[in-house]
Amino acid sequence: MRIGFIYECGPKGADVDVCQNLAARLKPEIKCIARTLDNKQNLVRECGPVASLLLQNCDHVVIIWDLFPPWREAAPCLHQDRGDIFESLDNAGVDQAKVSLVCIREELEAWLLADKRALQKVLGRMKHPHPLGTLKNYSNPDMVPQPKTKLIQLFQRELGRRRKYVDSRDAKRIVSAIPDFNKIRRSASFQRFHDIITGL
């Protein structure tokens, strides 16, 4: 089974690495085909034609985006985003039954904060032999404001300013260290992602 993924990041964005790692673990037989549209405005506007192209060779398409844009100029609206995405799909003649949407409230880093066991493993290796400080458990990771900033601060606290969190490098390490889905499933957006992938 071939699944197309449309992201709002760049070609080397952390979203691609994280989602493809998780998708492969949830359903090893799928082949992931990624298309990146750089930002939310491009995704909303161009997802229809891109999904149409993907569906020429894929069985299904998953569109993943953040509700809150990084610049936060205006209050976001999930209903508006979905309406605009469906309009783009309709204009491109895409069968919506072959498309699933996953909206992450803040940023994909919310998924990485969901399981402190993975953070302990990654940071512990980098900080060894010095002990880690206390890491927080987030019972509702989707509601953590600016999770990427939280990860940056955590890396600085534990490793100092010389070793900053870089999403294109560190997100893959963290997601690969998540031992199971028990903790990350506290994220409603990940649970939706999980249900879509396992249901295909």
* pLDDT tens digit sequence for 149-189: 999 999 999 999 778 999 999 999 999 999 999 999 999 99
Instruction: Outline where DSSP puts E strands in 29-188.
Output: 31-36, 60-66, 99-104
> Based on the domain organization, do 145 and 119 belong to the same domain?
yes
Structure-token pair, residue 200: 């295909």
155 and 59 within one domain: no
Angle subtended at Cα 83 by Cα 10 and Cα 193, rounded to the nearest 5 degrees: 55
Same domain flag for 130 and 147? yes
- Per-residue pLDDT of 5-46, as tens digits, reads 999 999 989 999 999 999 999 999 999 999 999 999 999 999
What the block records as the tokens of 41 is 């405005």
Q: Judge if pTM exceeds 0.85.
A: yes
> What's the total number of domains in the chain?
2
Q: Are residues 166 and 193 in the same domain?
A: no
The answer to whether residues 93 and 17 belong to one domain is: yes
164 and 73 within one domain:
no
Range of the domain at 102: 2-107+185-199
Please tell me whether residues 60 and 134 are part of one structural domain. Answer: no
Do 38 and 19 fall into the same domain? yes
